[in-house]
Structure 1
Amino acid sequence: MTSSSQFKKRIREVALTYLADWGIVLIVGIALYGLMVGSVLPKNPNVKLHQIATSDIQSPIDTVDTQATHVKRQEAIGSTPSAYAYNKNLGLMQVEKVGDLFDTIAAVKKDEKISSDSPQVAVDNAIKMIGDRLSGSSDAHLSDSTLTALLTASDHNLQIAEDIASTSIYEAMNDKVGWNDLQRVQDKASASLPSSVLNDSIRKALNEVLQSYITANYSFDANATKQNKQEAARNVDNVVIHQGEVIVKKGELVTNDMIRQLKLVGLLDEHFNVIPFVGLLLFTGFITFIFWFEYYRFKEKHPRYSVKYLYIYALIFIGAAAIIKICSYLRLTNVSGISYLVPLAIAPLMIRILLNERVAVVSGLLLSLVGSVLFGISAKAAIFDSSMGIFLFFSALAGAVVLRKRQARPKIMQTGGLIALVNVLVVLSLLMFQNTPFSPASTGLTLGFSALSGFLAVVLTNGLMPLFETGFSILSPIRLIELSNPNHPLLRKILIEAPGTYHHSLMVANLAERACEVIGANGLLARVAAYYHDVGKTKRPKFFVENQMDGVNPHDKISPQLSRTIIISHPYDGAEILRQYRMPREIIDIAEQHHGTTLLKYFYVKAQEQSEKPIDESEFRYPGPKVQTKEAAVVELADSIEAAVRAMQKPNPVKVNNLVKSIFNDRLSDGQFDECNITLKELKSVEKSIDETLRGVYHSRIEYPKDLKMKKVTTK
């Protein structure tokens, strides 16, 4: 092959593997985005101010109504009363200030020797001195006439005046005195001055003293009031317009406040907003990435699976999303609970059959997320419908795990019943969570539709699986189980035309299946392939020792070269027969590869003995190809070992074990597994498994005597 053709082949391989894979993943992402884009498209309702609403309009999101919240907080601030502080010690403080006043007057009077006969100049000078002394200790500003009256009073009268003033102030301020009550309290104290012991001038002076020193002890507290109002504002919760909340009810008059709320939640937004579309793109990208990652992980563990399984996976995934989209519009019928009819379990069921359980579970989770968005669109109230998302997830999970490993077509009553039971329990739980009133008719319909969804998913799976198997030529467990039916025409052909080969194939199937399961390969594929691997022997059954019931061996009458041709042709005759019956490629490959390039030792040695010239060993080797898969390698080992053990005289566990090791080492040294991805550790496990199975078949038995005489037991 030229370098140019090799380069072209390499380019073609890259295009088929990488570009095809990414192309399918991109198509899946675009399809999902197209199905879900309705969730972010503007949903502007047809409403006008001061007109009657023709339908209910719900909020698509949760948002805070800042204007309504501000109004509510202002109302809370306005309704919060002012705070007042009561200073119960203020009365004593005022009494002390009055005491300081009288002490100062008495001291100045003594120092300046002021009496009732003192000249006015001396009195004025004394008043000035009193003012200077009290300027830093008293808030009261008494008139000159009051100070004159007190200065010119006798010491006895001055002391009486002090006592009366102190007592009156203390009694007046012993209770709460607010600014509104201050004048009343002051007048009451003035009116209570005793006239019998005081002359008019001193009474008048004391009246002014009381008016000056009796003050409010229960006054407005600005800081406390501010804090109270701020606390009241903080305690007001935000006014939230909740997702799904009805803003405008059908039949109501549309008000300015309703229009404001509709604008707030974006239902009347006339400007194009790209952010929701970007958000949906990120969401779709996440779904698509997980979709790709799960398939990539599956492919790494199962390299024999071709890219067509990605096509199948993508088709099922997109198809399931499309079914959800179609079923979401069932809500428009206004039939109670009809949206629960969506048969999402069909996707996990098919993926479980065609790929594996993990991929089915993850796909169910992804599709439930997609479904919550799609049902949110149909509800026209929210981007996500959480209730439907929960229902879809559990329904899909049931579809992924309910199918048994070797179950053929999912049984409608068994599989569908289990999925239906899960659906009903989930829906019943959701109804209880939502505290929805139970109506016999409505609840019955809802539960009935959810149960019907399970059976519908199984029916659709059974109907669609043959289309996928035929259209993509895939080998599913269901197809394998069908091919293992003893009534299959080819198996009947082997049984009738080559009964020895048939029983040999059954033994090989048992050995191969158990060995494959030990190393994690496809045991079911190995079993079914073993049933058909020697179908080519039906073309000339008598030339194979297991079918020579009469003891006549045709090879005794023909040359080793002709025997070689007949024996070597049976894998390729079998492959041709399998192609004629349109059997799966995997089974054809195993039939064609199960002898690899091994040597027909018996006829090679026989030919060497009959020939005078050396014979090239390659003439007596199978042309191949060598085994390409683990299942083919296991079938090859099981086939050669079973045939050898069958030909063994009086087999026992030790002889069987030695033979198994001999054949194993021979195949390994001959390079028969060089083109297969099986490891040496796995081959050792296969050897051990086959040996253990054969030991169970050829275990030691009791050797009974040839002539066993029965003693008669007589009873009297």
Structure 2
Amino acid sequence: MKPPNNKIWVIGLYFLSTLSIAGLIYTVQDRSENTSLAEGQNSPLTYTAPREVLIINKISTQRARETARSQIPTIFSVDTSTEQLVIEGILSSGFKAETYLPLLEAYMSPDGVSKDQIPVLLEAAVVGNTATKREDIRLTLNRLLLPTYQPNLELTETARDAAAAAVAPIMTSLNAGQIIVREGEILTTETLRVLDKVGLYRAETQALRQTLTTWLTAIAVAGLLSSAVFFGRRHLGALAPGQFFFLVILSLLLLVIQTFVFTTLEGLLIIAVAPVLITVLVSETVSLFWGVCLAVISSFLMLNPSLETQVSLVILAVASALLVRLLPNRLSLLIAPTLGGAIAGSTYLAITLLTGGTPIIAAFLPALFIFVGGFISGITALGLLPIAESAFGFLTNFRLLELSNPNSPLLRRLLTEAPGTYQHSLVISTLAEAAVQSLQGNQLLARVGALYHDVGKLRRPRFFIENQFSEENPHDHISPHLSYLIITNHVREGLDLLRRYRLPRIFNTFVAQHHGTTVISFFYKKALEESESTEELNFRYPGPKPDSLESAVLMLADSVEPGSRTLQNPNPSNIRSLIDKVFDQRLHDNQLSNSPLTLRDLAVVANSFERTLTAILHKRIAYPTAEEIRSLRLDRNYRRNKKVSS
């Protein structure tokens, strides 16, 4: 049975999945565009305040606090242990009490003795003594006097810290739109702090964001592959492992190259290679989803691309995928992404100029790079297509159109060596193409497959009725079993020719399955007339039965077309009766048991066959010959002359 038509919910799920991936990426990325900012580097952009905000002016505040600290003098404290040592030294000096007593009283007074007062007190102490004695007293007492007031650094720092802390922070008003740092300027600690204050920078979350960036990239790439498989499972399921591997590797390489190129030349977008190729190699639906996913992931990996660049990426991918279907030949792979680049570049320029703040010249250069990137994508896709076709076995519409050319080698042979078979194949291809198109299948594949389904008849063309242009039939002179072997051998011979001419392997199904396991009834009947012991199994095609929509329709067309040539009166009613009869025979013979066709599909195919055969077998008016017209003219003139003479 054919899978149900789930187009609406697939499109809805596709939209939600794309939106979820994009939302997850942009939420964590925190569109601040600067998670990579660091002190000492050049600012990548000109940053302005998004709103009015008060911030602490750390430089002015620090200067005011240093001034407050400097105004606090050094604090001194009395060293009592030193004072005791001085007193004990003076008392034990051996001098008379009247000599040192005034000095000692002054030293022990609450105000103490300053350094300037010591010489005066020493002179008073030595009065009345000899010169030698005075010098001895002066030296001894001067040696014994020690300072007892010492600087107290701890108390001084405490007092200065208190004075600095008492200074209120000096605030600066930052107006909305005011420039914080210009592009190219060196980022300082103060600049980063201001950016942090206004919400444009989060230094404490950079490591976390980098980790999340790495993991989300991996998740996004995995989501790309799994989503592409899910949404394109009908188309991707028909791909060989090597073909799917080619698409995956191509996408990953494009992501890496795009990220590297963007860091060097902003605007040079080459991501269109993938959607263009996938449209041609797989389908437009898969290409659109794949292209949007690649665009979203690319914008994430590029590290802070502008909004204009992100929009241009998506437009380039989508426009290229859609445009390539509108063009008929291989050059579409070059033209489509080039036009897509022009559209995306124009969009980039328009958005940049509408948002303002960027000179026209500065906006024009990235837009030009986007256009050039589309052109480079086209050249790359054009070069990769032959590799995909030859090395990985992809069958494109371009290749099918080339194979449908009557001048292709095998069709040329069929036309010249088996012209009846060629004409039969043309009719079959017309029937199959119209019917498969009605079922929304691959009508081009059905048409071209039908053109090649009977190429095996080239080995012995005269043994097939459509190539017998004389009364003599070679089967009249051989046994029914030998005729069976010759007829069924055209399948094996066809497969051999496909291999020798290196035609796509998918054509093997059309050659091998177009008769299924049906009975060659003409020779089976003839064998029964000659021998009653003949088994029907001995006159069946080897198969296999059709297992695809296109090959099943081809088998039905190949069964109906010969019968339509035997109709005496090929009007729509007789044609429909023939179609219904053939379809019933194939159903009861279980020839469609492996195909995806449903009874509803069979009704659609029958209606299509009826319309096509009615057009092919239409009646024509029998035009009179020149001799008949001449005879009528002579007869008319004779009667006219006779009437005049009478």
**Is 1:407 aligned to 2:334, yes or no?**
no
Give the distance between the partners of 2:236 and 2:229, measured in 1 at CA.
10
Matches within 5 A, 1:612-691: 613-649=532-568, 651-691=570-610
Give the distance between the partners of 1:270 and 1:602, measured in 2 at CA.
87
CA contact (8 A) 1:59 1:241 kept: no
Secondary structure in 2 aligned to 1:273? helix
2:290 corresponds to: 363
Q: Which amino acid aligns with 1:629?
A: S
Could you give the per-residue CA deviations for residues 285-304 of structure 1, whole angstroms, max 9, x where no partner exists? 25633542242232147754
Cα-Cα RMSD? 3.7
Secondary structure in 1 aligned to 2:506? helix
Offset of 1:398 from its aligned partner?
A: 0.7
Give the distance between the partners of 2:621 and 2:244, measured in 1 at CA.
56
**Is 1:273 aligned to 2:260, yes or no?**
no
Matches within 5 A, 1:151-550: 247=181, 250=184, 257-258=190-191, 260-261=193-194, 269=203, 273-278=207-212, 281-282=215-216, 284-286=218-220, 288-289=222-223, 291-300=225-234, 303-331=237-265, 339-376=266-303, 382=304, 384-404=305-325, 407-411=328-332, 414-416=335-337, 418-436=339-357, 438-439=359-360, 445-550=365-470
Offset of 1:483 from its aligned partner?
A: 1.5
Residue 64 and residue 565 in structure 1: after superposition, are their counterparts in 2 closer, same or farther (change >3 A)? same
2:482 corresponds to: 562
Secondary structure in 1 aligned to 2:620? coil
2:518 corresponds to: 598
Residue 447 and residue 249 in structure 1: after superposition, are their counterparts in 2 closer, same or farther (change >3 A)? closer
Offset of 1:365 from its aligned partner?
A: 1.8
**Is 1:700 aligned to 2:633, yes or no?**
no
Secondary structure in 1 aligned to 2:628? coil
TM-score by length of 2: 0.68
Give the distance between the partners of 2:363 and 2:196, measured in 1 at CA.
36
Give the distance between the partners of 1:674 and 1:629, measured in 2 at CA.
11
Q: Which amino acid aligns with 1:645?
A: S
Give the distance between the partners of 1:472 and 1:249, measured in 2 at CA.
48
CA contact (8 A) 2:519 2:539 kept: yes
Secondary structure in 2 aligned to 1:68? strand
Q: Which amino acid aligns with 2:190?
A: D
Residue 601 and residue 344 in structure 1: after superposition, are their counterparts in 2 closer, same or farther (change >3 A)? same
Q: Which amino acid aligns with 2:229?
A: Y
Could you give the per-residue CA deviations for residues 216-244 of structure 1, whole angstroms, max 9, x where no partner exists? xxxxxxxxxxxxxxxxxxxx9987899xx
TM-score by length of 1: 0.62
1:587 corresponds to: 507
2:55 corresponds to: 68
Residue 559 and residue 486 in structure 1: after superposition, are their counterparts in 2 closer, same or farther (change >3 A)? same
Secondary structure in 2 aligned to 1:482? helix
Residue 653 and residue 293 in structure 1: after superposition, are their counterparts in 2 closer, same or farther (change >3 A)? same
Give the distance between the partners of 1:293 and 1:412, measured in 2 at CA.
25
Offset of 1:312 from its aligned partner?
A: 3.7
Give the distance between the partners of 2:603 and 2:181, measured in 1 at CA.
72
Secondary structure in 2 aligned to 1:550? coil
Give the distance between the partners of 2:339 and 2:37, measured in 1 at CA.
43
Q: How many residues align?
A: 493
Give the distance between the partners of 1:391 and 1:602, measured in 2 at CA.
65
Give the distance between the partners of 1:269 and 1:399, measured in 2 at CA.
40
Could you give the per-residue CA deviations for residues 141-177 of structure 1, whole angstroms, max 9, x where no partner exists? xxxxxxxxxxxxxxxxxxxxxxxxxxxxxxxxxxxxx
CA contact (8 A) 2:270 2:373 kept: yes
Residue 530 and residue 268 in structure 1: after superposition, are their counterparts in 2 closer, same or farther (change >3 A)? closer
Give the distance between the partners of 1:250 and 1:343, measured in 2 at CA.
28
Q: Which consecutive residues of structure 2, in runs of 5 or more, have no partner in the other structure?
A: 1-20, 62-171, 638-646
Could you give the per-residue CA deviations for residues 120-149 of structure 1, whole angstroms, max 9, x where no partner exists? xxxxxxxxxxxxxxxxxxxxxxxxxxxxxx
Residue 393 and residue 583 in structure 1: after superposition, are their counterparts in 2 closer, same or farther (change >3 A)? same
Could you give the per-residue CA deviations for residues 648-673 of structure 1, whole angstroms, max 9, x where no partner exists? 44533333222111111111110001
Give the distance between the partners of 1:682 and 1:530, measured in 2 at CA.
19
CA contact (8 A) 1:406 1:477 kept: no
Residue 515 and residue 412 in structure 1: after superposition, are their counterparts in 2 closer, same or farther (change >3 A)? closer
2:68 corresponds to: none
Offset of 1:541 from its aligned partner?
A: 0.6
Give the distance between the partners of 1:277 and 1:62, measured in 2 at CA.
28
Offset of 1:679 from its aligned partner?
A: 1.3
Offset of 1:458 from its aligned partner?
A: 2.0
Residue 545 and residue 302 in structure 1: after superposition, are their counterparts in 2 closer, same or farther (change >3 A)? farther
Offset of 1:528 from its aligned partner?
A: 0.8
CA contact (8 A) 1:368 1:396 kept: yes
Residue 301 and residue 395 in structure 1: after superposition, are their counterparts in 2 closer, same or farther (change >3 A)? closer
Residue 527 and residue 271 in structure 1: after superposition, are their counterparts in 2 closer, same or farther (change >3 A)? closer
Offset of 1:700 from its aligned partner?
A: 2.4
Give the distance between the partners of 1:369 and 1:405, measured in 2 at CA.
25
Residue 652 and residue 62 in structure 1: after superposition, are their counterparts in 2 closer, same or farther (change >3 A)? farther
Residue 545 and residue 64 in structure 1: after superposition, are their counterparts in 2 closer, same or farther (change >3 A)? same
Offset of 1:65 from its aligned partner?
A: 10
Residue 348 and residue 246 in structure 1: after superposition, are their counterparts in 2 closer, same or farther (change >3 A)? farther
Offset of 1:494 from its aligned partner?
A: 1.0
Q: Which amino acid aligns with 1:672?
A: Q
Offset of 1:275 from its aligned partner?
A: 4.6
CA contact (8 A) 1:351 1:357 kept: yes
1:204 corresponds to: none
Secondary structure in 2 aligned to 1:656? helix
Would you identify which runs of 4 or more consecutive aligned residues in structure 1 move more than 6 Å? 39-42, 59-67, 236-242, 262-268
1:192 corresponds to: none
Give the distance between the partners of 1:650 and 1:282, measured in 2 at CA.
70
Offset of 1:437 from its aligned partner?
A: 5.1
Residue 237 and residue 67 in structure 1: after superposition, are their counterparts in 2 closer, same or farther (change >3 A)? closer
Q: Which amino acid aligns with 2:356?
A: N
